[in-house]
């Protein structure tokens, strides 16, 4: 990872990651001019648009923000694409609850599993570190 080349007046170097097409980070004042900053932003925006899937390919579906949003999103994906995976249930909450409980049970059963052969890090440690 390359870090920003900006050095402040006290001689401290910026440690932020560089953005695409630049030797500097996302902070405007780290650029020599506003024009240079805007030119880099336009290039970064073009890079993002060219390298990601068009927003037109997505349907935004509002869901409850009750702490189970990831499971609700998975439930919505199953409901929306039921022609791909056959499901009888169409109630988002019931599917989300089922997914959450199934995943919880699987994690509890496999909590000592290493997430990678190269890294000494268990599923249990990862869950604790990410919640």
Q: Return the residue of 4, 18, 68, 75 that touches Zn ion, per CB under 5 A.
A: 4
Interface segment toward Zn ion; rule CB under 5 A; list 26-34, 41-49, 82-90, 120-128: 26-34
Identity of the residue, 22 or 72, whose beta carbon is nearer to Zn ion in the bound complex: 22
Identity of the residue, 23 or 66, whose beta carbon is nearer to Zn ion in the bound complex: 23
Q: Give the angle 116-102-120 at the CA atoms, nearest 5°.
A: 15
CA distance to 36, 74, 97, 98, 130, per residue, from 71 (Å): 42, 5, 7, 9, 16
Please tell me whether residue 76 binds Zn ion under the rule CB under 5 A.
no
Please tell me whether residue 16 binds Zn ion under the rule CB under 5 A.
yes
Alpha carbons 96 and 115: distance in angstroms, whole number: 24
Q: Return the residue of 22, 30, 71, 75 that touches Zn ion, per CB under 5 A.
A: 30
Please tell me whether residue 25 binds Zn ion under the rule CB under 5 A.
yes
Alpha carbons 43 and 41: distance in angstroms, whole number: 5
């Amino acid at each position: 990872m390359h870090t920003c080349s900006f050095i402040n007046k006290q001689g401290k170097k910026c440690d932020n990651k560089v953005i695409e097409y630049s030797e500097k980070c996302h902070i405007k004042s780290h650029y020599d001019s506003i024009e240079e900053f805007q030119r880099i932003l336009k290039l970064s925006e073009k890079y993002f648009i060219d390298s990601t899937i068009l927003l037109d390919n997505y349907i935004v579906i509002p869901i409850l923000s009750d702490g189970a949003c990831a499971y609700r999103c998975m439930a919505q994906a199953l409901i929306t694409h039921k022609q791909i995976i056959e499901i009888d249930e169409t109630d988002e909450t019931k599917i989300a609850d089922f997914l959450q409980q199934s995943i919880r049970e699987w994690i509890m059963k496999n909590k000592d599993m290493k997430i990678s052969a190269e890294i000494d890090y268990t599923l249990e440690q990862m869950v604790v570190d990410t919640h």
